Structure 1
Amino acid sequence: MIEFDKQRLTETLAELVSIPSINPDLNPGAEGERQIAEFIAGRLRETPGIDVELQDAGNGRPNVIATVGSGSGRTLMLNGHIDTVGVAGMAAPFDPVVEDGRLYGRGSSDMKGADAVMMLLLEEIARAGDFPGRIVATFVVDEEYASIGTQAVCRDIGRWKPDAALVLEGTRLDVSIAHKGFVWATITTRGHAAHGSRYQKGIDAIAHMGRVIVELEALSKELVQRPKHRYVGPPSLHASLIRGGQELSSYPEECVLEIERRTVPGESDDQVHAEFQEILDRLAGEDPQFTATLEMGLVREPFEIAEDAEIVQIVRDQAAELLGHTPELTGGMGWMDSALLSGAGVPTAIFGPAGEGAHALEEWSDLDILHQFATVLAATSYAFCSDSR
C-alpha cells in the first residue's frame, strides 16, 4: 500500500497554485498553461520510471502525458485539467495560504489538488516498482473553455488503449456517474430597416424576437416538468445573450439571440434542433413577415456510465475498505471532460476530493480529504490494473 506524505502533498498543491494558469480563451492575454505544464513535466522527469511528454493540444498549449508501469495488467487513464478561470476581485489568488486544514488559492479546488495527487501517485508507483499494469495520467489544458486538451487525448486514444478512465474532478469522495451536456444555438430574426416614422415600411426584428423568447420561456417551463433523470434532474433552457437594432430612431433590421439548452442522458442535439426549429416554423406560419434563422453551435454530449460498471464498483469497494463507508453514486449538473473520454469508447467515472469556491472569489481545498482521496486512488489503481482481463 502506498503511503502518501501529507506535507509533501500540501507543498505540491501550493506550488501548483502559485503558478498562474488562467485559460487564455476566457481571459485574453492571460498566461495560459505552458508554465504549469513545464513545471509538472520537469518535476515528474526527476523520478526514474515515469515517461513524460508534452502533447500539443493546439495553439501551442501543452498537455502533460505521464505514463508509469509496464506490467501485464490493465491500463487506467487519469484525467485532470491544469487551467483555471480568472481571478478578478481576488486579493492574492496565487499566494497559497493554509489555514484550518484548508489550502486557499485559485485552482486549489478546481482542480490542482487532484493534479497534485496524480503527481505524487506517479512518483510513488515509479519508486515502488513492480506495478501490475499501467497508469496514463493526463494533465490537460482548456477544460474551462472548449476542452481542446482532452479532445487531443481522445484523438490519440489508440496509443494508450486505456481499459478505463477516472476524471478527478471534485466529488467529495463520492462517485459521479452522470452529468448534463449542453447545446449552444443562435437565433436571428430579420426585419426591415426604416426611419421610425415610416411604420408602413419598417419591420421590427426585436419585436419578432420577443415572440421567440415567449415561446422559449414556455419550452423552458415544459422542460423542467419532464421526467427527471435520476442523477442530474430535468433538462433546461435559458436565453444567454441578445443584441439588436442600429439606432434609436430606426426600425431594427436584425436581432440575434444566443441560447443554451442543457441536455440529460438520452437526449441528442438533433432533438434540440427540432424543438427550436418547430418554434420558428410555427411563428413563420402565423405571420408572413416573420423571418428567422437557426444556427446550431457547440455541442457537448451528456454523460452516463452504468451503476454496476467495473470501474465504478472498484472505486466504491476500495473507498469502503479504506474509509469505512461506501461512496454514494451521484450526478453532476455541469459538463466535464468525462463525456469526451466516454465518447472515445473508454469506460469512465468521476471521483475526486473536496473543496469549495470553484470560480468564486474564495477557493479552497480540504487537505484531510485530499489525503484520503490520494489513498483511495492509489488502491483503486492497483486493484484495477492488477486484473489483466
Structure 2
Amino acid sequence: MPDETPESLDPVQLLGELIAIDSVNPGLIPGGAGETAIADFCGRWLTDHGFDVHRLEKRPGRPSLVAIARGTGGGRSLMLNGHLDTVGLAGYDGDPLAPRISDGRMFGRGAFDMKGGVAAMMVAAARATRRGPLRGDVLVACVADEEHGSLGTEEVLGSFGADAAIVTEPSQLQLTLAHKGFAWFDVEIEGRAAHGSRPDLGVDAITKAGHFLVALEDLGHRLAGGPAHPLLGTGTVHAGVIHGGEEPSTYPARCRITLERRTVPGEDAGTVHTELTAVLEDLAATVTDFRYRLIPGLHREPFQADPDTPIVRTLTRHAEPVLGHPPVIRAEPFWTDCALFARAGIPCLLFGVAGEGAHAATEWADIASLRHLTRILTGTVADFCS
C-alpha cells in the first residue's frame, strides 16, 4: 500500500534525487566527486523539514551532517546514521546517476548501498517529528567516507552522542546484531640485493616470502577449524597485495605482503599481531636467512549488539506488524560504522533495505522494502524518543 504522505515525504522520490547526485568517494577513486553536493542537498532538505543542521568538515570537501530535532526534555535520544559516499561509477551497466524504476526496483549507483537507507531515515525522522513533540532528541547523521576509512562517523561521534543509534546499511529488512572487523598488516621480508650471477652474495626476499605465504594459508585453515561465533563463524586471513623485486637479473632485497585478517568478537588487532608474530618467529627459527618486519595498518573492531537493549526491542516491536513476522536476526561478514558506535558506548543495530548490487555493475533497491523500512523507522523513532 503506498504511503499516504505529502510528496515531499516520499522516500522513493527522495531516493531518486539522491542517486542523481554524484558522491563517489575520492579516497577510493582519485578525483571522485566526494560528498559536498549531496551534503548540500541533504542539508537543505533537512532544514526545510524543521531540523537544526550542523555541518562537520574537518577535511575540506568531505562534509558530514548532523541534523537535530530537539525534544521537549526527559526522553531518550536516537541517532539515525547513513553514509553519503558511493563506490565508483566506471563499469556500471547504464547511466549510474540516472535513477530508473522497473519491476518494483529503483536502479542506480548507491540505490542499495546505501542511499536507500539514507532516504528512509531522513523521511522517517521528518515524519516522526511531524506527529507531535517528542521528549527526546532525534539526530540524523549523513556521513562521509564510510566506503574508505569511516572518518565521517568518527568525526560525528567526536562532537555528538545519543542514547542509541540505528545504522541503515542494507540488510534485506533483517536485524543485524553482529559483524566482523578487520586488521591490515604489512609483512616485509628482508633479503639481500646482489647480481643474479652471485647466489653466494644474494638472499632472495621473494622466495623467502613464499614460506610466509604457505604459513599464512595454514593459519587460515587453522582459523577455519577453530572456535566459531554463533552468527559469524570464524575469523579469516588472506594476502591482498604483494610487491617485490626490481629486475630479473637482481636478487630482490625485500618483498612486502599486505594481508587482511577478518576478526570476530573476542579478536582484535592486538590478538592478530600476536598470532602473526608467532607465525613469523617460527619461520625465522626454521628457514635460513628469514628476516622480517611486521607493520600494523588500519584496523576496525568487530561488532556485537545486546539483543535485550531498548533500541533492539523497540525496533523489533515496530518491525513485526509491518513485516508480518518477527525480523530475522543476522550477522554480516563485512564491517560497518556500527562498531564505532559500540566503541563510543552507544547501543546500536543495523537495519536497512532489500536489494542487490553493492559495488556491482547493476545496483538496485526494492521499493516495497524502502517503504517498509521508512514505516518501521518512523514508529521506532516516535516510540523510542517519546
Contact 2:128 2:379 in 1 (8 A): no
Correspondence for 1:153: 156
Query: Is the counterpart of residue 122 in structure 1 residue 125 in structure 2?
Result: yes
Q: For 1:384 and 1:4, how far apart are their aligned partners in 2?
A: 22
Is the alpha carbon distance of 1:19 and 1:122 closer, same or farther for their aligned partners in structure 2, counting shifts above 3 Å? Answer: same
2:77 maps to which of 72, 75, 78: 75
Correspondence for 1:134: 137
Correspondence for 1:290: 290
Query: 2:34 is matched by which residue type in structure 1?
Result: G
Correspondence for 1:341: 341
SS at match of 1:94: coil
Query: Is the counterpart of residue 366 in structure 1 residue 369 in structure 2?
Result: no
C-alpha displacement of 1:226: 1.2
Correspondence for 1:164: 164
Query: Is the counterpart of residue 329 in structure 1 residue 329 in structure 2?
Result: yes
Q: For 2:58 and 2:116, how far apart are their aligned partners in 1?
A: 22
Contact 1:121 1:378 in 2 (8 A): yes
Q: For 2:77 and 2:337, how far apart are their aligned partners in 1?
A: 19
Correspondence for 1:66: 67
Correspondence for 1:221: 221
C-alpha displacement of 1:283: 1.3
Contact 1:173 1:354 in 2 (8 A): yes
Matches within 5 A, 1:223-302: 223-302=223-302
Correspondence for 1:107: 110
Correspondence for 1:29: 31
Query: Is the counterpart of residue 380 in structure 1 residue 380 in structure 2?
Result: yes
Is the alpha carbon distance of 1:126 and 1:319 closer, same or farther for their aligned partners in structure 2, counting shifts above 3 Å? Answer: closer
Contact 1:175 1:351 in 2 (8 A): yes
Contact 2:124 2:375 in 1 (8 A): no
Contact 1:57 1:148 in 2 (8 A): no
> Could you list the runs of 5+ residues in structure 1 that have no partner in the other structure?
none
State the Cα deviation string for residues 53-108 of structure 1 (Å, max 9, x = none). Answer: 21114233111111114222110011000000001111200001011111100000
Q: For 1:57 and 1:230, how far apart are their aligned partners in 2?
A: 39
Correspondence for 2:96: 93
> Could you list the runs of 5+ residues in structure 2 that have no partner in the other structure?
none
Matches within 5 A, 1:310-329: 310-329=310-329
SS at match of 1:241: strand
Q: For 2:110 and 2:320, how far apart are their aligned partners in 1?
A: 28
Contact 1:176 1:332 in 2 (8 A): yes
- Between stretches 77-86 and 62-71, larger displacement belongs to 62-71
Q: For 2:312 and 2:225, how far apart are their aligned partners in 1?
A: 30
Query: Is the counterpart of residue 53 in structure 1 residue 54 in structure 2?
Result: yes
Query: 1:256 is matched by which residue type in structure 2?
Result: R
Correspondence for 2:202: 202
- Between stretches 344-353 and 308-317, larger displacement belongs to 308-317
C-alpha displacement of 1:4: 4.6
Percent of matched pairs sharing the same residue: 42
- Between stretches 320-329 and 198-207, larger displacement belongs to 320-329
C-alpha displacement of 1:153: 1.2
Q: For 2:257 and 2:142, how far apart are their aligned partners in 1?
A: 36
Q: For 1:384 and 1:126, how far apart are their aligned partners in 2?
A: 12
C-alpha displacement of 1:321: 2.7
C-alpha displacement of 1:288: 4.9
State the Cα deviation string for residues 15-74 of structure 1 (Å, max 9, x = none). Answer: 000000000000001111100000110122223x31112111423311111111422211
C-alpha displacement of 1:148: 0.5
Q: For 1:325 and 1:57, how far apart are their aligned partners in 2?
A: 43
SS at match of 1:58: coil
C-alpha displacement of 1:270: 1.1
State the Cα deviation string for residues 308-367 of structure 1 (Å, max 9, x = none). Answer: 222111111111133321001110100000000110010011111111101000000101
Contact 1:4 1:371 in 2 (8 A): no
Is the alpha carbon distance of 1:8 and 1:310 closer, same or farther for their aligned partners in structure 2, counting shifts above 3 Å? Answer: closer
Correspondence for 1:39: 41
C-alpha displacement of 1:131: 2.2
Query: 2:157 is matched by which residue type in structure 1?
Result: C
Q: For 1:4 and 1:138, how far apart are their aligned partners in 2?
A: 23
Query: 1:67 is matched by which residue type in structure 2?
Result: I
Q: For 2:105 and 2:51, how far apart are their aligned partners in 1?
A: 30
Contact 1:69 1:126 in 2 (8 A): no
Aligned length: 381
Q: For 1:369 and 1:120, how far apart are their aligned partners in 2?
A: 14
Correspondence for 1:180: 180
Contact 2:342 2:348 in 1 (8 A): yes
SS at match of 1:208: helix
Q: Structure 1 length normalisation: TM-score?
A: 0.95
C-alpha displacement of 1:5: 5.6
Query: 2:64 is matched by which residue type in structure 1?
Result: N
C-alpha displacement of 1:114: 1.2
Contact 1:57 1:149 in 2 (8 A): no
